Amino acid sequence: MACPATGQATRPVAVLTYIIRRVVGAFAMLIVISMVTFGIFFVVPQWAGATPEAMAARYVGRAATPETVHLVAERLGFNDPVVVQYGRFVKGLFAGAQYDYGAGVEQCPAPCFGYSFISGQPVWPDLVDRMPVTFSLAIGAAVIWVLAGVSVGVISALRRGSFFDRLSMGTALAGVSLPIFFTGMISLVVFSYGLGWTPPGGAWTDLAVNPLQWAYNLLLPWITLAFLFAAGYARLTRAGMLETMGEDYIRTARAKGLRERQVVVKHGLRAALTPILTLFGIDFGLLVGGAVLTETTYTLPGLGQFAILAIRNQDLPQVMGVVLIAAGFVVVASLIVDLLYAVVDPRVRLS
């Protein structure tokens, strides 16, 4: 940021230190997040008077005997101080851990997010396994919502007050207001169970297996999710465009005799795009960390569904894993956005 205006040669160095600083900051952020999550999970119940046994009682079958509960508390390490438990978690991340499955011992290589308290499955492979689903959902939806949202926003701004403007802004208002578990269920009922155009909930095919089926299965979730986001982007683009199109330099550009298309795209839209890029970075980062509602509504086995299940089951290792992954994505996405600013907006480059 503190970039000498004339120092072209020093700029890469400055950018590098900037990136390093951001990465270190991101790490610190992840550590804080992991501590807070751990704290919420262990310290808060302790304040409420929960004993290790009371906590272990969540992970046993119904009518378990006190001995069973005691054994499980011991196995999950609940009898150790919270600091020790946290230390064990961090150690697992960097050095791996061992898991005793009764008939033998399994090595859990780093990064070991531990084993589910409920299913006993290692968390990391589950996370990796679910990432493609969430990525597929997020990328497809993002393409649709950016294209649709921005173009609708631009057209609305250029034809301000027209029928198109009113209709699209009305639809956009509906889009931001309607929750996805509502639009999702309705669209499933209409398009899948009623008309039979789209597959039922729970349909998922890997891209590598069958790209066409992959897209067909995801079409409805993409559109539903994009509808929610596109609405916001359309409104934001429209507002941004209205503001920029009134600027002096637009008048100048027109006075120079540039074609209208150039004026709109190169001068107008480019300036209006900056806030959208910020928003997009955060939205996209959040989404790849798990599109919780969409995945739950459509039963897509992604990170969002995983997060909900983990929280519902109070499965700490899974919660920690998904929280850290999601936080990591947000941090990375906002870093990329910051770097992209320089591309989109020359003022950032020069300041």
Residues forming contacts to other proteins in the complex (CB under 8 A) are 45, 48-51, 53-55, 57-69, 71-72, 74-75, 101-104, 106, 118-121, 126, 185, 188-189, 192-193, 200-202, 296-299, 301, 305-306, 309, 312-314
Cβ contacts of 53 within 8 Å, gap of 6 or more = 66, 69, 70, 73, 78
Q: Smallest gap, in angstroms, from Cβ of residue 144 to other proteins? A: 22
Q: Contact 220/137 with Cβ under 8 angstroms?
A: no
Q: Smallest gap, in angstroms, from Cβ of residue 42 to other proteins? A: 14
CA atoms of 24 and 341, how far apart (whole Å): 20
Residue number, 59 or 89, with CB nearest to other proteins: 59
Q: Smallest gap, in angstroms, from Cβ of residue 137 to other proteins? A: 15
Residue number, 59 or 113, with CB nearest to other proteins: 59
Residue number, 125 or 346, with CB nearest to other proteins: 125
Q: Smallest gap, in angstroms, from Cβ of residue 162 to other proteins? A: 39
Q: Smallest gap, in angstroms, from Cβ of residue 38 to other proteins? A: 18
Residue number, 75 or 166, with CB nearest to other proteins: 75
Residue number, 5 or 48, with CB nearest to other proteins: 48
Q: Contact 157/149 with Cβ under 8 angstroms?
A: no
CA atoms of 263 and 246, how far apart (whole Å): 12
Residue number, 6 or 65, with CB nearest to other proteins: 65
Phi, psi (degrees; rounded to nearest 5) at 97: -150, 175
Q: Smallest gap, in angstroms, from Cβ of residue 125 to other proteins? A: 11
How far apart, in Å, are the Cα atoms of 108 and each of 21, 97, 121, 287, 341? 31, 5, 11, 28, 40
Give me the count of residues in the chain: 351
> For the chain, percent helix, then strand, then coil, each to nearest 5?
75, 5, 25
